[in-house]
Amino acid sequence: MPLSFRGIVCAALGFALVAASPVWAEEDEASVQELRVVVRELQDQVARQQEQLDERAARLEEEEEASSASGVSRFIEATDVRSWINVNYTYNSRGNRNDHLIGQNSNTGFHDDNHTFQVDQLWFQLDKAVSSESRAGFHTDIAFGETARNAQLAFGGNDSVTVYTAYASFLAPGGYGGIRIDAGELWTLIGAEVVPVSENLNITRGMVWNLQPVSHTGAIASTSVGGFSLAFGVVNAVLSDTATDSDRNKALTGQIAYAADKWDIAGSFIHGSRIGELEDSGIPDPDDPDGGNYPVNRDRNQSDLTLADLVVSFDPTDDITGYVNFTYIWSHPSESPNSNTYAWAAAGRYAFTERTGLASRFEMVVIDPSNRKATDEFALTFTADHMITDYLTGRFEARFDWGINGKYHKAGDPYSFTGGANHQKLFLAEVIYSF
């Protein structure tokens, strides 16, 4: 770096003084020594200025490099990543012969097959939260394994993949803490249990969970007012859907929740119509090899469907946590009798130590209470868990289902639905590694 004008002048003055010092030495040696001290101080000051200039130049260079850094690095720094893998084994006491029924287990969510090891979930969750400082964000859940294969309703291996959620978020000014808008594939507002295994008390999902939707495509706006939170949205369909709206009628969903110190309560609903039965349009379909006609849906509102849901969760102490979940399903087809369903589940976990706990769940489902011939269904589940290491957890589960005669299949001819019983007993073992 070149010297400043002040530095050059000081250096020249110092040189002149030093050169003239022999002449002055005879007249006043003390004055010369004093001038020499001044020169040294000026030289030190010039050196310090030069050092400051060098440091400033280095900082500017670092700032330029940081400003031109990759967008990927900034993305990683702002994104929260969670992931885990869980492997389990399922056994059904109703039989395990080599010709056992495919999909023998009932009401279990993602554990349909008996006497089977499976990679349940290889899960990746990415979340960039929104805030008043950063109002745009996103969220996605990507799953591999049996959970993904089951969601695709297809036969495959552990390499099946499903994107369960993928939505963009924006926090708009307004309300108590802003209004958050999520748009894309969203988790449902209904229910207590969820698809991610690490957030449930039990290994298997319950009967009540099997009656509820999982995700929706649409948009949901939410806000908070004190301890209350409100949400309302428009989605494609009442039941779990894909990106295609089959009946072109949207469903409405919403939730009001309150969070206290030791308990939470959330009431949710979703209402919409299901596509009616297809009819013959009378218009020939040129692509039909049999010479048939185009199908047509003449009544898009043929079947209305409403789900109302209430979840009360609690954690009165550090050792106890649990929830009660009540779901009511109202179905109103135009050409069939009323077929309402209500279901409830109560679950809790007690922690014996910081690493070991025991959870239990009891459920009841009543289908069409107006039909006296209908059979109620029940399930009782016990799940023990132990944290083997800081990242590895083992769980063991015993589950008992009973109520509907013929629903629970036993070993028999492949794909045969004969020989059913009114109960099943399941035993599962699982390990979960979080990373």
Of 120, 112, 106, 110, the C-alpha closest to 207 is 106
How much is the pLDDT for 433? Answer: 97
CATH number assigned to the domain with residue range 81-434, chosen from the 4 options 3.40.50.1970, 3.20.20.140, 3.40.50.300, 2.40.160.10: 2.40.160.10
DSSP letters along 20-49, please?
A: HHHHHHTT-HHHHHHHHHHHHHHHHHHHHH
Computed over every residue of the chain, the mean pLDDT equals 81
373 pLDDT band, cuts 50/70/90, is low
pLDDT beyond 70 at 395: yes
How much is the pLDDT for 404? Answer: 74
pLDDT beyond 60 at 96: no
pLDDT beyond 80 at 355: yes
The larger pLDDT score, comparing residue 351 to residue 12, is at 351
Least confident range from 1-5, 37-41, 112-116, 136-140: namely 1-5
270 pLDDT band, cuts 50/70/90, is very high
Q: Please state the domain extents for the chain.
A: 5-67, 81-434
Greatest mean pLDDT range, 193-207, 261-275, 322-336, 360-374: 193-207
The larger pLDDT score, comparing residue 335 to residue 379, is at 379
Decide the pairing of beta strands 215-225 and 228-235: antiparallel
Helix (H, G, I), strand (E, B) or coil at 73: helix
How much is the pLDDT for 82? Answer: 93
- Percentage of residues in the chain with pLDDT exceeding 70? 72
Distance CA 334, CA 351 (A): 50
How much is the pLDDT for 1? Answer: 46
pLDDT beyond 70 at 337: no
> Model confidence over 111-150: pLDDT tens digits?
877 788 989 999 999 999 998 888 999 999 999 988 887 6
Amino acid making up residue 304: D
The reported pTM is: 0.75
How much is the pLDDT for 11? Answer: 52
Q: Quick one: average pLDDT of 191-201? A: 94
The larger pLDDT score, comparing residue 238 to residue 394, is at 394
Q: Quick one: average pLDDT of 163-184? A: 91
Of 110, 112, 190, the C-alpha closest to 143 is 110
60 pLDDT band, cuts 50/70/90, is confident
pLDDT beyond 90 at 367: no
pLDDT beyond 90 at 368: no
Distance CA 382, CA 362 (A): 9
